[in-house]
Amino acid sequence: MSLRLDGKNALITGGASGIGRASALRFAQEGANICVADRQAAAAEETAGEVRKLGRKALAVAVDVSNPQQVQTMVERAARELGGIDIVLAAAGVSAANYGEGPIESKFLNELPFENWRKVMSINLDGVFLTCTAVAREMIKQGRGGRIIAISSGAAKVPLKGSGDYCVSKAGVWMLMKCMALELGRYNITANAIGPGVIDTPMTKEMQSDPRFERMIKRTPLKRIGKPEDVANTALFLASEEGSFFTGSILHPDGGVIMQ
């Protein structure tokens, strides 16, 4: 039985942990070579090592996705060392401006400092724009089509009180994928978003200690938190031949919470 991504090359940002890491391993299981890109160089190398254990080619790249030059260098290196890029998964993101620096600050938009807004946008939206457009240029040059996938959120559709910057950034990611789908279809390049619900990742660890979290799970029809693998399998579908007629879509691995 042939592997679904046999011989394909994938670039994954945010690949050192959570959804990005799970996707890197899932893609590798299905035959893809992987460029693992992340701010955390050591963690990216650890994920790349796991990919190599699966028999695939892998490289780790340290990158700040909000930095245009770093992103361009990342794409050029991935294309050169892997032999082109067939798939990009833009999974790098933050839940708030102080993500990774202590308890997440929840602020209403009218109280939100502009610098906080800009930091979230620079990573969650600008970073996806820079990554996906740089890869698109490479795919057009290669002339063999490709798959562009970006991690959005259920918050692209459902507003969250105190997280307006996050919600707006993720809604922007969804619209970005729709615009890219419209413009890149003639090159046989698809562009889709994934809007997960609550997933068990480092980003949601703090949330899980909040009493409201249990109530959220109870409102979820499947009555559980999602796993990174749930999202990775969605990304695999979009990256594979089975997803070849999807473009401009957003898929929601969310246990049914967004439909309510």
Catalytic residue among 27, 99, 129, 166: 166
Distance CA 16, CA 37 (A): 7
Distance CA 69, CA 101 (A): 25
User: What residue has token string 């401006």?
Assistant: 97
Q: List the one residue out of 174, 178, 151 whose CA is nearest residue 95.
A: 151
187 a catalytic residue: no
User: 198 by DSSP, 3-state: which?
Assistant: coil
Half-sphere exposure of 78 (CA within 13 A, CB side): 31
* 223, amino acid identity: K
Q: Are residues 35 and 78 in contact, defined by beta-carbon separation less than 8 angstroms?
A: yes
**Three-state SS letters, 107-157:** CCHHHCCHHHHHHHHHHHHHHHHHHHHHHHHHHHHHCCCEEEEEECCHHHC
Token couple for 225: 């938190």
Which active-site residues does the annotation give? Answer: 166
